[in-house]
Structure 1
């Protein structure tokens, strides 16, 4: 692997000549879903690449995806009778918001297990193991013949993998329902059956899945936010889905996070739950399914991050939900898409980066051999904002033409979109900028929460989180009065 970074100009660099600007990227997303061109005259995008140390346009992806979500909220405000307002987003601020940085009572929390990371295998390949959930960690260790207690070290895992093939261990883990990815080059992924299955798909899709009368949103003026009285059911746990719900809450929606009392969460739930109600409902039980069905009767948006088909088996697939609540906007997130041989495979941002070629390409640009991750989980965050964008586009369609709608986003499709934005010359020489000036602090159910302020600035209806972040099960499973 050559030291390609030596061929790049020193920081500050810039995007390569054929790369897309953030406005180009946003306009492509906007027009791709047939949103009105006039709206693009009301968004201000400041800053430029590189904002973080990466050879990829991570700042562009953050700004464009967030811009799409925020501009869609402004469009809904206009649809409800408000005058058009300006939306402004700074690229560095948007990127900082995608770092998942937060502190509780002044303490920064570690969100990664000590065994999570990349390992060299005996055949010279690399795998990434995701061990942030105990059942995933212990399952991977059991496959390797390692003890599952706290005494297990990275060295023990490395020794076990020195006898394994990267691709074979990836498949063995997938067969066991675990989360492991082998590192590939872009060319390898492009010729992989799953890469080919999603190659022709857009970054997100919005399709009509049923008939329903239009439900025009009530007219609101003055200081109401665009999504006032829009009810969102948020059945997600990891970063991308919760970011979608958090954005919709910032724009005024009533977002109810629904957790099973028996499933684990990662610590970022404290940060991504800003603005949300938080309830417990176990969908494996009749009582939990009844509770969800009751909430669904007056919901506008249903967001879920289960593997394709998983909720359908519980009676809450897109068609079942559209039958129960005609006019619903159903938003689905998956790791690798809903078609192809990997459609049922579990995955997280870091694993998708590894499997689809980003870790190899970033390492190649840095002139190193070991896999190199991007500086933040941009696939998660960009996917979350694309979900929020698609949900609001579908809301405008429902309000004007009726129907039930299905929005689909996957981390792998977002990865493909990020590749399309081009590379950033000299980006890896950009030091990680300080984050302190972008932070705000507020009480929460977890302690004093300090996290990044929302980067989208609205001229008439400022985004804000009117509810504090609270632990799962804090609220009753009923919608609040308007």
Structure 2
């Protein structure tokens, strides 16, 4: 796995990483893909990036560590979370799931009301699983995908790896880097305020929803950043995921569809150091928050953008989620579909985004500039596929109990996965548990 970490670090920093140690075996997660290796490598990369931020502060980071068992736990953190001893309910809506079509399989995503409505509208059926199954069974997978996506929903035909490689979007993803990190405007060099934590004094504005973006913010919070998550009161949320991914963050509501809300967002950005956003490509730009506007509003901002299918190609603006990208890209190829054992594309992209943000901050100290990092679930899937295969051995029950800790939260007493990645110079931790959405004011703390 060392070569995987070194490859990721080269993609991020164009250099060799500092000292690190990896422990554990890859058989902690089932399946032929090297998911445990990818999880461990992405966690190691983020922790190494935090270590380099410490080094900039004159603090020796020590030898970074990452363990496969802890990585597996971190990548299934939403499954392991307990609130007052009770496990999480299923996050899947009744209409979400895989459906057999006339010529294969298609996956429909209905976890949000607007996506469920798009399924019913696009297929011309009432909102029952039986009706959807009947409608889908008589059509081709591509026809179903097109009908639902055209109605504003989220769907994915199951494609083979070969079909994806030949697809225009598959070719576009293959041509893009795992992480696109580059300056987009000039800005003075960054001066760091004193802190004994990697991201002490760094303000992160998070405009994200499930799951990769919130994971990125959670990682940054664990390394000392002041992370403010912005949502909207009227938008639906998957509470199971919010409880898990909003560790250590403040949470406020801002209505971006109003003039007052956009003015509030401008004020927040003008004092932020980092913006992490997972809107579809072009969505923020349409309301006046494109990269050039952001660079003018806050010179020296680090802008991290996450998407489903990448920032180039015919699907650049397409809605997508981890499970759908797995179907489209061939990672779930099989009859029936065989998904990855965890939502690895989401989690890995989140950790890699955090690594990119910290790398950009370090570059700002040395060179200045407003920086932009772009990553995608499909790009992470392409990277995972490139790591090769392992023997598909079903692991014995993995004991995660030693990796869990308890914390108070707005929801009750949490039992959660402890922050992964060892950094002797400043071990990562969350200062507080999950706060309920919208309980904080949309302002920066002094």
Do they superpose with TM above 0.5? yes
Q: Secondary structure at the match of 1:311?
A: helix
Is the contact made by 1:256 and 1:279 (CA closer than 8 Å) also made in structure 2?
A: yes
Question: Does 2:374 correspond to 1:399?
Answer: no
Aligned to 1:463: 428
- Choose which of 197, 217, 229 in structure 2 pairs with 1:225: 197
Is the contact made by 1:241 and 1:384 (CA closer than 8 Å) also made in structure 2?
A: yes
- Choose which of 184, 187, 206 in structure 2 pairs with 1:209: 184
- Choose which of 47, 55, 59 in structure 1 pairs with 2:32: 55
Q: Secondary structure at the match of 1:114?
A: coil
Distance in 2, matches of 1:103 and 1:262, equals: 26
> Superposed, which structure 2 residues align to 1:63-74 within 5 Å?
63-74=40-51
Is the contact made by 1:234 and 1:304 (CA closer than 8 Å) also made in structure 2?
A: yes
Is the contact made by 1:53 and 1:431 (CA closer than 8 Å) also made in structure 2?
A: no
Question: Does 2:282 correspond to 1:309?
Answer: yes
> Superposed, which structure 2 residues align to 1:218-367 within 5 Å?
218-220=193-195, 224-267=196-239, 268-360=241-333, 363=334
Which sections of structure 2, spanning at least 5 residues, go unmatched?
A: none
Distance in 2, matches of 1:431 and 1:201, equals: 37
1:245 to 1:86, Cα distance in 2 relative to 1, 3 A: same
1:142 to 1:176, Cα distance in 2 relative to 1, 3 A: closer
Corresponding pairs, count: 442
Measure how far apart 1:324 and its partner are.
Answer: 0.4
Aligned to 2:3: 24
Is the contact made by 1:441 and 1:450 (CA closer than 8 Å) also made in structure 2?
A: yes
Distance in 1, matches of 2:309 and 2:287, equals: 22
Question: Does 2:18 correspond to 1:40?
Answer: yes
User: How big is each residue's C-alpha offset from its partner over 1:178-227, in whole Å with a ceiling of 9 and x where there is no partner?
Assistant: 1000000000000001011121211111011001010121343xxx2110
Aligned to 1:418: 384
Distance in 2, matches of 1:457 and 1:264, equals: 35
Which sections of structure 1, spanning at least 5 residues, go unmatched?
A: 1-20, 364-368
Aligned to 2:92: 112
> Superposed, which structure 2 residues align to 1:56-205 within 5 Å?
56-99=33-76, 100-101=78-79, 102-109=81-88, 110-122=90-102, 124-148=103-127, 152-153=128-129, 155-205=130-180
Distance in 1, matches of 2:31 and 2:282, equals: 35
Measure how far apart 1:95 and its partner are.
Answer: 1.3
User: How big is each residue's C-alpha offset from its partner over 1:92-139, in whole Å with a ceiling of 9 and x where there is no partner?
Assistant: 1111111122122222122112321101012x2100011111221222
Q: Over aligned residues, Cα RMSD in angstroms?
A: 1.3
Is the contact made by 2:11 and 2:178 (CA closer than 8 Å) also made in structure 1?
A: no
Distance in 1, matches of 2:69 and 2:131, equals: 40
Distance in 2, matches of 1:280 and 1:129, equals: 29
Distance in 2, matches of 1:163 and 1:398, equals: 56
Distance in 2, matches of 1:125 and 1:69, equals: 39
Is the contact made by 1:194 and 1:340 (CA closer than 8 Å) also made in structure 2?
A: yes
Is the contact made by 1:75 and 1:84 (CA closer than 8 Å) also made in structure 2?
A: yes
Distance in 2, matches of 1:432 and 1:353, equals: 25
Q: Secondary structure at the match of 1:424?
A: coil
Q: Secondary structure at the match of 2:189?
A: coil
User: How big is each residue's C-alpha offset from its partner over 1:309-352, in whole Å with a ceiling of 9 and x where there is no partner?
Assistant: 00001111222111100011000000001111001100000000
Distance in 2, matches of 1:432 and 1:119, equals: 30
